Amino acid sequence: MAKVRVHELAKELGITSKDAVTKLQELGEFVRSASSTIEAPVVRKLRNAFPDATASKSEAPASAPKAPAKAAESRPAPAPGPAA
């Protein structure tokens, strides 16, 4: 696993970046901001600290319908603007 930015992982877990940074600091990790990168072992620590967030996130893609993608294809093209 490559390095991940704190804010990306927070978004994936459904928490705020501020909560993620605070929790990592509580766990003893050196993180300055939400744009800091973290290694795989630190990612695991944060995922384990928020088990409810990871469980609900892993279930969501399986039940997500793919219908909205088809709806986007069937939209008519926008009308051209007035000629200048």
Structure token digits, residue 15: 């928490």
**Domain edges within the chain:** 1-36
pTM tops 0.75, yes or no: no
Distance CA 83, CA 67 (A): 36
Reported as a single tens digit per residue, the pLDDT across 1-44 is 679 999 999 999 999 999 999 999 999 999 999 999 999 999 99
Residue 41 CA, chain-centre distance (Å), reads: 18
Q: Are strands 37-38 and 4-5 parallel, antiparallel or unpaired?
A: antiparallel
